[in-house]
Structure 1
Amino acid sequence: MLAKMLPLFLLLIGLAAGGGAGVVLKPEPESAQAEHPPEPTTDHATPRPEAHKGSEIVKLNNQFVIPLVAKDRINALVVLSLSIETTAGRTAEVYDREPKLRDVLLQALFDHANRGGFQGEFTKARNMDVLRAALGDVAQEVLGDAILGVLITEIARQDV
């Protein structure tokens, strides 16, 4: 009898723990956040791009996976997440054009990889600036004046 009750008992404990964690970790309502704005950080070691006034950040839905090929073999993969900074009110336009946008961004990433842009210290500021500029140029071809910039929100390289 005890063996049959154990899974039910464990399920109830899991539900109670999950519910308790949900209550404890629940985000503050927006009105409380407005009363207590976040403290400014004092970390000035890495400059962060600031959003333009009246702009919106649009996160592209899926990551980009770039194979790094040497001697007809894939020797590494680079995985990136990108967001588009656009003028206010143009988010829908970015999502409507996302398939074409992803295509040109992916081609720019392949070109960067073929030039050796993901070799060595590929995350150095200069290398990242070159990549951002290339991505911004091709994104502007698709979105025109709607685009203010391309943000690289995640980047990782995995050697295989």
Structure 2
Amino acid sequence: MGKIFPILLALIGLAAGGGAGYFLKPSPAPEMSNPCGDVSGADDGHTKTDATAHVDVDSEFVKINNQFVIPIVSDEKVSALVVLSLSLEVSTGNREAVYQREPKLRDEFLQVMFNHANTGGFDGVFTQTSRLTHLRRALREVATSILGEVVHDVLVTNIVRQDQ
């Protein structure tokens, strides 16, 4: 009897958990015919600075080839590496212009990221909103200086820090 009791208790717990999960599962989300909402151009009150603003219909995203690797130097040696992936939000039809200027963009982006690293931007809680906002703003300024006003935003699509 001593060996059957724990097994019986486990089966009862499993059945109770399964039953609770079945009866408490959330109802399915209603289907949306257009997940992007009304894109007819009507003013919906959103601005570019709203957290709920939708993507501009006249823009496209261009992924910058290859990741950026930024060394973090402390005590005159590399103590960590930060790896970033970026994309640019640009006006539609400017994808080829981005790829033609990509070597210049990469060089300038790296310089901005090295400066960010040297001022402690990747130390501690490097994913803090204010730090990433500062980095994205600097990257957008550089991208705008190279490509012009076709650049709407710079998106950090991936960021990882590996300590040595």
TM-score normalized by the length of structure 1? 0.70
How far the C-alpha of 1:99 sits from its partner, in A, is 0.4
Task: Give the SS at the match of 2:139.
Answer: helix
- Greater helix share, structure number: 1
Q: 2:61 aligns with which of 37, 57, 63?
A: 57
Structure 1 unaligned residues grouped into runs of 5+: 1-34, 41-46
Residues 138, 157 of structure 1: alpha-carbon distance in 2 compared, 3 angstrom cutoff: same
User: Stretches of 4+ moved more than 3 A in 1?
Assistant: 35-40, 47-50
- Structure 2: runs of 5 or more not aligned: 1-31, 38-50
Which residue of 106, 110, 113 corresponds with 1:106? Answer: 110
Q: Alpha carbon RMSD of aligned pairs, Å?
A: 2.0
What is residue 154 of structure 1 aligned with on the other side? 158
1:71 deviates by: 1.0
Report if aligned partners of 1:51, 1:85 keep a CA contact under 8 Å in 2.
no
Q: 1:97–1:39: structure 2 CA closer, same or farther, 3 Å change rule?
A: closer
Per the alignment, in what secondary structure is the counterpart of residue 104 of structure 1? helix
| 1:1-160 correspondence runs (5 A) | 50-160=54-164
For 1:39 and 1:95, the matched residues in 2 are separated by 28
Aligned-partner SS, 1:69: strand
Paired with 2:33 and 2:160, the residues of 1 have a C-alpha distance of 35
Structure 1 CA distance, aligned partners of 2:148 and 2:109? 14
Displacement, 1:52?
2.0
Identity of aligned residues (%): 49
TM-score by length of 2: 0.68
